[in-house]
Structure 1
Amino acid sequence: MNGEMMEYMVGRRGIPMDVLTRMKIEERLEFLPQTGKEEACICFPYLEDGVMKNMKFRDAAKHFKMVKGAELIPWNIDAIKGKEKCYITEGEIDALSLIAAGLEEVVSVPNGAGGANLQWLDRFVESHFDDKTEIILAMDTDRRGVELRDELVRRLGMDRCKVVAWGEGCKDANEYLLKYDLPRLRQQVEQAAEIPLEGVFCPMDEWDTLMDIYYNGMPEGADTGLENLDRLIKFERGFVLTVTGVPGSGKSEFVDEIAMRLLLRHDWKVGYFSPENTPLAYHYRKLIRRVVGKRFEHKGMPLPEAGQAIRYLAQSVFSIMPKEDFSVESVLRIAAQLVSRKGVKVLVVDPFNRFEHQIPDWETETQYISRIFDEFSNFAVKHKVLLILVAHPTKLRREPGSKRWPVPTLYDINGSAAFFNKTDYGMVVDRNDELGQVLVRVAKVRFDHLGGPGDAFFAFSTYNGRYTPTEERTLDHNPPEPKWEHTNFLTEKLKPEQQGLGFNEGE
């Protein structure tokens, strides 16, 4: 059916009819939940190896839906398989504009600027993108388009990505086509600029970020939802958080708490190098009970909830266990692959002493640790991840007449003062069984807009492994028990299934 929407595509969006026909674009009436009625929609088929995988229905007001339960894949993915270069746009109409200009090796992200969460990309990195020598990003120039562009650069590699600039008065490929013509559009895309030289910057390179700070202020950072901790510290990717505490203080448990909350609240996928958390199933059990809020056993956690949690974490949590060795180089090499293939944004190293450290003869231990910490910091910056490093303190001496170890500082970490001097965030975890509380001491926050030093107190639930904020307990002050949290976080975290229709028979 060729009606008002096909006329809209040709007359108002400048896409030639022969391109629409060749790309199997059609028009039909579809019910759209945004308007509550049937609308004339342009239909974009999502094919893989020639087989229909999904369909997007969009009206002239930019309302759209996709097929309920169908997989999100890049539009026109078959066009780039086996090709040396490809183009990526933010929408199907922009991709059609490039095709009309003779640039055939183009895909569109499936959900516009909402595609900054690139889970749809995971399955195609190896099969469709690893062989590319050049990737041209033809994104929109608004804020969300820039965020999408930056995440694609992070995932696909700065060394082979180029960025198209649309110039004054145009924000995307289709606007450029309408303002100029197809030859000019092709020329503009082919003039895409390389990402600025790594390691060399000037203020103009940070223009977008500076203007964002100018108008909106410094970014707040990511919170955890633990209100007493959030008052002290917010997290940004590109930084290192060092966590210490005496043995048995719950360092790893609290790091899991932070990691799961950043995942659930901000979709920051997590990679773990945690050899002490083996067998892996035992660690996953702890994570599952933390997100569901119940014991991981058939008597306490219904099977549907357990299955939902396993499936959710299977897409979001990954464990690094190198076959060859536990060297820093091996772990960071695999972690870089997790960033590229899975979109990991948090890397947990727990603990530092489980690396197979090989200190060269010409370095002291202090020099070696300082150099390795630089590698961690550089990795966090390059791959824009929050790197959480757990490190044990040296053996402390108990105070005379006391059964407890003193609360350590970052300077007490075994091996080097670099753990305090070079980390961006510093945190100490100390459990007091006598008082039944956990102290989390924020010892360092490099940038004051992200917080500052201070203490937060928690109660730990042995039932589900969660930390609950509480008042400070002392021998003279015994506040009431905290309100324990048993909510299944996944029922609040996971979005309802996208509204849509199934494929009709014969499609």
Structure 2
Amino acid sequence: MKTLIDYGIDVAGKHGVEVKTTCPQCSSSRKKKNYPCLNVNTEKGVWNCWHCGWSGTLQGGEWQKPEIRKVYSKPVFAPVEKPSEGLGAWFAKRGISAEVLQRNRISSGEAYFPQVEEERNCIMFPYYRGAEVVNVKYRTKDKLFRMSAGAERILYGVNDISTEALVWVEGEIDKLSVEMAGSMSCVSVPDGAPAPDSKSYSNKFDFLNEKILADVKYHIIAVDNDAPGVRLQEELVRRLGREKCLVVVWPEDCKDANEVLMTHGAEVLGDCIANARRLPIEGTYQVEDFRATLRDRFQYGAPKGTSSGWKGLDPFYNVMTGEWTLVTGIPGSGKSEWLDALTVNLARDHGWTFGIFSPENQPLEYHVDKIAEKFVGKSVEKGAADRMTDAEHEDAMDWVNDHYTFILPELPTVDGLLETAQALVLSRGIRGLVIDPWNEIDHSRAAAISETEHISQCLSKIRQFARNNGMHVWVVAHPRIMRKEEGKYPVPTPYDVAGSAHWRNKADNCITVHWDQVKGGETVQIHIQKVRKKQNGRIGLVELNYDKATGQYSSEPNYYPKIVDRKTREAA
């Protein structure tokens, strides 16, 4: 296995587990050439540069190349010495003092709001990093919001972060309310909480790149007590780490920090934050920990997985986060092709992002072309009857870039792949991980451990990883050598997968992709052979139509998803 020196990383004799040093990728080209922007965990062999984004592990190799840093515009903002009387009176009704307004340099003025296509009087919340105003949030009294165009979206209150503990809220007024209760170390996310049905929310967390966040010991999540707030809380806990997070419970008559301040006062608000409860110890649970969830299940039914995108398949198989699926089939049956199409459906319809380990689909340009064809519904091949246009090709490349990260370590191991995927959960918010195929992973093991024991341990790690990170993992594994029956291969079962019966026992879902190699044709069989949770499907067989030119599948004759251009999608 390579060492840090092989990647040009010099810890310069520093001792300890967590050390900082210069980055071999970007430090030489920066003004502050000696600034230690590369964080290195010498114990795990993991590194990450907070400046250029270069990251990797000794086990998995580089997983993210240096990025070209975005160029942001800087807003024009003139801070006032003292807020106006009208502004002070408006905030006083919400329990916020003039001193807190002045410290945070909040002022009022006019700004253009595209929602109503006119200028309006508004409150201006400057977003500072150090002494520099990086962005400005504009808010009217009737709750129109906008931020400075082209400016960087950072956390509101970055300068107040303490590494001992940090309170997270979802609005600037909530951050000021927490300050009134005596807690200065508090930040607000720049865009608030997502709508419950928003699809592309998981890729809007660039603000987590603030390097000081890596040193925070405890994160106190104090977001709104409503459906968007619950979703924001889940995503923050997932990315920041469950073991480092505490959750605030608001009084029943309040949904956020400012309501508590106005209704009960600063002391009660401070008590709510001080009494933030830890999430349950891993592996131990009490009914009280999920009583609200039980009520929802009783009233609305158990939650179901996400639609596969094929109406004919949905009664049999839906994709549930926190689970993993075994995909098998004889060589040439189209396992990888079908799995690529499934990820395209999830990304297009539900905004999922993915980490993809698929070394057999190389070069990467070939793999991206296949995904692009499934997305657009047209071929990339020169001379094809229905070839995508230059604009469609550019749009497809942008879309694939937004939703897929390809993982190609030099020596792939289960631990290394999961470690890389864990980093992608934080940086890109991936919801799915594809391991395709199993036999391309290095399975070196101690002589005392049998193949069955090794597979059992690996599958347990994969299952725990999926549960801990609220994501779905697909593992493609080939069956052992099979004999033909009457001139064709039988449909493999999970028990036919090489190595161990644990493939059937430990999987949440088992799917066999089968194509009749004697009969041929454009019909592919999807055999659903195990579904752990009844609300997510049942055992059965579904036939999908396959379009060889585009790689798309459909469960209805001559039907393929209609793709719209990027601007139309974003507007929707």
TM range (shorter): 0.7 to 0.9
Q: Distance between the aligned counterparts of 1:462 and 1:54, measured in 2?
A: 49
Deviation at 1:152, TM superposition (A): 0.6
Higher helix share: 1
Amino acid in the other structure paired with 2:173: I
Q: 1:175 and 1:135 mapped to 2: Cα distance?
A: 21
Query: Residue 485 of structure 1 is aligned with which of 540, 560, 567?
Result: 560
Residues 205-220 of structure 1: pairs in structure 2 closer than 5 A:
205-220=289-304
Which runs of no fewer than 5 residues in structure 2 stay unpaired?
1-79
Instruction: Tell me the equivalent position of 2:395.
Output: 308
Q: Does 1:420 align with 2:504?
A: yes
Aligned letter for 2:334?
Answer: G
What is aligned with 2:458? 372
Taking the aligned partners of 1:104 and 1:302, their CA distance within structure 2 comes to: 54
Amino acid at match of 1:371: Q
Whether the 8 Å CA contact 1:411–1:417 is kept in 2: the answer is yes
Amino acid at match of 2:388: M
Give the partner amino acid of 1:495.
Answer: E
Cα pair 1:74 1:121 within 8 Å, conserved: no
1:61 aligns with 2:61: no
Shift of 1:44: 2.3
Q: How many Å apart are 1:490 and its aligned residue? A: 5.0
| Residue type at the aligned position of 1:197 | I
**Which range moves more in the overlay, 359-368 or 337-346?**
359-368
Distance 1:315 1:131, change over 3 A: farther
Q: TM-score, normalised by structure 2?
A: 0.78
Please name the residue that 1:496 is paired with. 571
**Contact (CA 8 Å) 2:138, 2:147: kept in 1 or not?**
yes
Q: Give me the TM-score of the superposition, normalised by structure 1.
A: 0.88
User: Offset of 1:451 from its aligned partner?
Assistant: 0.9
Contact 1:86 1:134 in 2 (8 A): yes
Find 1:168's aligned residue among 249, 252, 275.
252
Matched with 1:120 is 204
Q: CA deviation at 1:95?
A: 0.7
Counterparts of 1:429 and 1:492, CA distance in 2: 35
Q: Bigger shift: 265-274 or 18-27? A: 18-27
8 Å CA contact 1:245–1:251 kept in 2: the answer is: yes
Q: Residues 310, 179 of structure 1: CA spacing in aligned structure 2 closer, same or farther, 3 A cutoff?
A: same
From the superposition, tell whether residues 280 and 50 of structure 1 become closer, same or farther in structure 2 (CA, over 3 Å): farther
Q: Distance in 2 between matches of 1:349 and 1:494?
A: 29
- Match for residue 337 of structure 1 among 399, 420, 423: 423
Counterpart residue identity of residue 216, structure 1: Y
**AA partner of residue 223 (structure 2):** M
DSSP 3-state at the match of 2:219: strand
Quick check: 1:394 aligned with 2:480?
Answer: yes
Deviations 1:215-241 (A, max 9, x none): 221113211221111122211100011
SS in 2 for 1:306: helix
Aligned partners of 2:408 and 2:493: how far apart in 1? 30
Q: 1:424-456: per-residue Cα shift (whole Å, max 9, x none)? A: 111111123523211111111111111111221
Q: Secondary structure at the match of 1:97?
A: helix
After superposing the two structures, state which structure 1 stretch, 248-257 or 333-342, moved more: 333-342
Residue 55 of structure 1: how far off its partner (Å): 3.2
Q: Deviations over 1:23-81 (max 9, x none)?
A: 2322234454555655432222334454444433323333323345544332233432x
Secondary structure of 2:215's counterpart equals coil
> Residue 408 of structure 2 aligns to a residue in which SS?
coil
Please state how far the C-alpha of 1:489 moved relative to its aligned partner. 4.9
Query: Distance in 1 between the 2:408 and 2:434 partners?
Result: 13
Instruction: Rate the CA distance shift 1:87–1:297 in 2: closer, same or farther, 3 A.
Output: farther
CA–CA distance in structure 1, aligned partners of residues 379 and 545 of structure 2? 17
Deviation at 1:486, TM superposition (A): 6.8
Which sits farther off after the overlay, 375-384 or 96-105? 96-105
Q: How does 1:247-258 map to 2 (within 5 A)?
A: 247-258=331-342
Once the two structures are superposed, residues 81-128 of structure 1 have per-residue CA deviations (whole angstroms, 9 ceiling, x without a partner) of x74432210111101111233322221112222188243323534623
> For 1:262, which of 341, 346, 356 is the aligned residue?
346
Q: Which moved more, 1:85-94 or 1:70-79?
A: 70-79
Partner Cα distance (2:315, 2:547) in 1: 22
Q: Which residue of 1 aligns with 2:407?
A: 320
The alpha-carbon distance between structure 1 residues 68 and 309, as it changes in their structure 2 partners (threshold 3 A), is farther
When structure 1 is superposed on structure 2, of 227-236 and 178-187 the one drifting more is 178-187
Quote the Cα distance in structure 2 between the aligned partners of 1:461 and 1:39: 53
Q: How many residues align?
A: 482
Structure 1 residue 259: deviation in Å? 1.2
Distance 2:361 2:504 in 1: 25
The letter for the 2-side match of 1:89 is V
Contact 1:224 1:265 in 2 (8 A): no
Matching residue of 2:325: 241
1:23 maps to 2:107: no
**Aligned equivalents of 2:358, 2:264: Cα separation in 1:** 55
Q: Which range is displaced more, 269-278 or 126-135?
A: 126-135
Q: Are 1:95 and 2:175 counterparts?
A: yes
What is the distance in 2 between the residues matched to 1:122 and 1:150? Answer: 17
Query: Which residue does the alignment assign to 2:44?
Result: none
Change in Cα spacing, 1:73 to 1:306, as seen in structure 2 (3 Å) is farther
Paired position in structure 1 for 2:364: 280
CA distance in 2, matches of 1:361, 1:264: 45
Q: Who is 1:179 aligned against? A: 263
The match for 2:232 among 123, 148, 158 is 148
Partner of 2:280: 196
On the 8 A contact 1:126/1:341 being kept in 2, the answer is no
Segment drifting more, 446-455 vs 109-118: 109-118
The worse-fitting range, judged by mean Cα deviation, of 184-193 and 228-237 is 184-193
Matches within 5 A, 1:223-234: 223-234=307-318
- Identify the structure with bigger relative contact order (alpha carbons < 8 Å, sequence gap 6+): 1
* Alignment partner of 1:296 out of 353, 377, 380: 380
8 Å Cα contact 1:73/1:120 also seen in 2: no
| 1:430 partner letter | H
Give yes or no for the alignment of 1:446 onto 2:527. no
Share of identical aligned residues, percent?
35
